[in-house]
Every structure is written in structure tokens, then in C-alpha cells.
Structure 1
């Protein structure tokens, strides 16, 4: 019988086999419990076996799982040794990675990603560099950064993406706005409102956050241009207009004078790690490979996102 198994599945099995607790294992792996459960079930289904027994109180290895665990540990140790040797020979354990990120984008993801990578590559320093809305490519277009956490769509035709997370759209409204009391709104209800938007240099990203795809022949009324969330929310608190943004912004940029209302009929906004594969330094390539190996994205992005 020929069956495919990934290193990620083997690592998930080994950690769960050690912890025998989905919460603790998921925390060690930097993934969610449902993602871990799904991966283990896929592994079992691939080979037609049961590796764990589960009930509401505990997780335990089956006899087969217990017999296989030391072999998997040995195999993973061998792979890690080979990779470590390659890393040592290529020099990727020394140096700096310039990691760009768009202001307010994946703030919690940034710290998780950097912490996890630097724990594995202790001689590589990640240098996070923040960019405002004027450059939604977070330095990739200019070459200022090698890898970046961005929020597509952006004008980077030669770059690759790893989707890290997805969020829903929300409307940022003045506190006295006619819809501020609502628990949710449709985007069409706000298309006639003046809008606070990004600078023209943001290109397609600016159009995306003005919902240009559903405006038809109704061009937006620009109330103000803002390059940061601070400037954006200040303009909205003054009553100049509204903006469309993401659910994480509602958590990180709340302030007096504004309210955030979920938008029900917009597709998710994705947060992604982006890079140009033709210009990666060994250190940046190590970061990309690390994320590809260890990061789990629960909701699948659009098929053409990568």
C-alpha cells in the first residue's frame, strides 16, 4: 500500500502523543484545537487505523499508536538533524530578516510568528518594520523588506502568499451615526456615506477597502484621506465620514466617539505572509519555510491566493 503522510502530520501526532491533551498540544504547535483534531483524523483515515482513543474526559494512545510513537520521534529527530546541518552549512542561523507589516494588520499574529521563529532560529534576528496605508505591500514593492505580513489585495504579481488568518468586515461609524445602534449592517446601507480612505498610493488596496466592487456607478465621496488607523478613527470621531475595516481593528483601535458594526455581506479579509521567491536571503527563506511547516490556516483562502 502506498500512502502519503506529511511531516506536519507526524509532528502533530508526536506532540499529541506526548501531551495526550488537545489544548496543550495545540498550544505547543501554535495551532487551534480543531485544526489539530482534523489533522489527526486525516492521518488515521489515510492509513485506515486508529492511533488515539478519545472521550469527553481524556485522550489516550491505542496499542498501535503507542508502538508507532517512538518510531515517529526517531524519524523526526533524523529529519531535524538533516535540516539543522543544512541550516548550519548555509549560514541561515546567523543574520537578520527584515519583516514588514502593515500597521494594525495581524498585530497578534506578528508577535506569535516572530516568537515562534526566533525560538527555533536563535541566531537569526527578526527586525519588524511597520508601514502605513501609503504602502500596503509593507516594503516588498520597494525592496525595503524581504518578507511581509500584509492584507491582500496588493499589487505584487511576482510574489507568493501564505494565508495566515481571515477576518470579517466591520463598519467604523461616528457614535451618533444613524446606524450606530445596529448589531449588523449590509454594505449597501453605507455606500452613500462619505468615506475616510487610504492615500492614492495604496492602489488596489485602497479600492478594496472602499468597496469599489459593489458601488457600480456610485463613486465614493471622499471625506478625508488617512495613512494610519489613528488618523482614520480621529476623522470618523469628528463626524467627517465612515470607513470599512476588519474585525481585529475593532479590538485594537477602539476609542471614544466611534462604534464598530459588523458587515454581514462581505467576503472575508485575509492576512498573509508574502515574499518574492527570486530574491530571498537564506535567513528570509528559513522564515518562510518555518511558517510553511508550522502554520495552520483553518479556513481555506481563495484558490488563486497563492
Structure 2
């Protein structure tokens, strides 16, 4: 700037610094390099021969810095993302709606959905693989929060030739003695929940098989090896030959929720949570926030 203005006062004003500070910076550069850049007298400031040669190099360097800063801003914008986990089969309609609405409002932020099977019902939240996740509580996440987005009835998945397959509804107590297909042991509380442990009065279940996906689960049941408990949306998504879904009466709803750890989210994930909280309609017109271990 000084090389162009050749006036300390005007150059300092354009740089938003004081005239003495600019003069000190120029003298420090000259002292460091051993080159005299300016001729100074009481009437004027002119460039030395070295200063005139240095000026275009300085301009080029500044342009390179500006370009690098622009590239950095562009990279930061491209890297604005939310790592969104979801448990396999969990609210497919909910996931599509969430992604579609968020990307319409925040086109500059990229949602990166990743599916998790039954071995991790926290959908990546437990180990930090994801920032936010669509889950089915309860899960082992004592420090996390969640917004309840949907509620569904329980159903049982039965082999087509099961003694109760013809029924329009069943009580869960009628099925507690049947062998059951369960999630892997790593599922923790979630596995216990879908084994209906609370209804067994201490009687251990007879485990027919362990399945990490609904495909494994329904295939095992179609072979007649056992039954399972699941939700009504799964009955729509995973219907196949050899199985029947029957509604279960007198059982609390299963919930779909968006969960996160308050101290482990960036501003992009926070924007997603705000949008869901403000726009989602479930209980009394808005999503309901609760601890992730509520159910």
C-alpha cells in the first residue's frame, strides 16, 4: 500500500493502522532484509531501485495469499457436513423427510447418512462415528439427549404356520414361551427391550438365533426357528413369504428419536437439531426432548 501511495498518512489510513506503526513495520522489514526500500525526506517518499523491483513481487505474494484464503473458505464450505447415523429399518419415512427438509433449508450443508445394524443400536453415537442419529430407544447413552419424532405399535413376526398366525391381535404373554430371534449381545438395553424382558417376570427367554439385520431375522423366522417382536413400520418394510405380522395389544409404543450428545456436535449438527425441534410435529405440535435413556 505504501509503495502505491508513497505517503505514510494515506497508506496508514487505508490499512487501518497508525502512521508510526506503518513506519516501524517498514523499517523492521528493511533492517531484516538489509535492503533500503524507500527514500525519505521532508517533502516526499519515493521508491528506491530495490523497492521498485520488490513492489510487483509483493503484489504477487499478496494476491497468492488472498487466493489461498479464498480456497480455504471454499474448502470449509464444502466440508460443512453432518454425520447422521440411523438404525437399520428405523423410520424410513422419517429419514427421508428429515434429509429432504434440512437440505432444502441448508443447501450448503451436506448430510451424510450411514446405516447401522442391530449390533450398534446407538447408530454410531456411542463411539463418536456419528454426531446425530435416528434411533429406537432405549439405548445405553446416559449423557445423550433425544427428540421423540414418531410412535408405533408393537407387532410380532411369526412363521406363517405358527399357532397364532391367524389371529388379528395377540397378547405378548401368549408368546413369551416361544423361542425368539434376538439382536447381538452388544445391543445391550435395546436387545433386552425387544426381548420383552420386562414382561417375563425373571424367566429367561429361549433364544432361537441371533440376527444383526431384519433380513437375517425374517429369514430365520420364515424357516420356523422362532419369533420376534418388532414395530409396525418394519411389518411394512420387511414383509416376505413365510412370515406373518400380528399386532400386539396392551404394549407401550415403540419410539423413533433423533439423538445426540450436547458436547459433541458442531454448528451444522446443531442446526439440524434446531430445525427438527422447531418443525417436527408429534406431541403438542413439536418434538419432545428427553434423556436418551428415558424408555
With normalisation by structure 1, the TM-score equals 0.68
Aligned pair partner of 1:156 in 141, 147, 168: 141
Structure 2 equivalent of residue 222 of structure 1: 207
Residue number in structure 2 paired with 1:118: 103
Deviations 1:11-55 (A, max 9, x none): xxxxxxxxxxxxxxxxxxxxxxxxxxxxxxxxxxxxxxxxxxxxx
Does 1:284 find its partner at 2:269? yes
Separation in structure 1 between the aligned mates of residue 239 and residue 283 of structure 2, nearest angstrom: 27
- Cα distance in 1 between the residues matched to 2:288 and 2:108: 33
**Distance (Å, rounded) in 1 between the aligned partners of 2:159 and 2:270:** 44
Match of 1:243 in 2: 228
Match of 2:19 in 1: none
The equivalent residue for 1:143 is: 128
Distance in structure 2 (CA, Å) of the matches to 1:186 and 1:301: 29
Per-residue Cα deviation, 1:204-260 (whole angstroms, up to 9, x for no partner) = 000000000010132100000000000000000000000000000000000000000
Deviation at 1:298, TM superposition (A): 3.3
Q: Could you say which residue in structure 2 is the equivalent of 1:193?
A: 178
- Give the CA deviation at 1:302: 9.9
Residues 296, 93 of structure 1: CA spacing in aligned structure 2 closer, same or farther, 3 A cutoff?
farther
Q: Which has the larger radius of gyration?
A: 2
Q: Deviations over 1:54-81 (max 9, x none)?
A: xxxxxxxxxxxxxxxxxxxxxxxxxxxx
The residue number in structure 2 matching 1:205 is 190
* Contact persistence 1:104–1:249 (CA under 8 A): yes
Cα distance in 1 for residues equivalent to 2:251 and 2:200: 13
2:90 matched residue in structure 1? 105
Aligned residue in 1 for 2:158: 173
Higher mean alpha-carbon deviation, 258-267 vs 291-300, is at 291-300
Determine helix, strand or coil for the equivalent of 1:263: strand
Question: Residue 263 of structure 1: which of 229, 233, 248 is its match?
Answer: 248
Q: How many equivalent residue pairs?
A: 217
Cα distance in 2 for partners of 1:140, 1:303 equals 16
Mapped to 2, the partners of 1:241 and 1:225 lie a distance apart of 11
CA RMSD, 1 decimal: 2.0
The alignment partner of 1:127 has SS state of strand
- Consecutive unaligned residues of structure 2, counting only runs of 5 or more, are 1-72
SS at the partner of 2:114?
Answer: strand
1:296 deviates by 1.3
Q: C-alpha separation between the residues in 1 aligned to 2:289 and 2:126?
A: 23
Distance in structure 2 (CA, Å) of the matches to 1:145 and 1:206: 21
How far is 1:150 from its partner?
0.2
Counterpart CA distance in 2 for 1:303 and 1:283 is 21
- In structure 1, the partner of 2:283 is 298
CA contact (8 A) 1:92 1:282 kept: no
Q: Secondary structure at the match of 2:139?
A: coil
Say whether the 8 Å CA contact 2:194–2:230 is kept in structure 1. Answer: yes
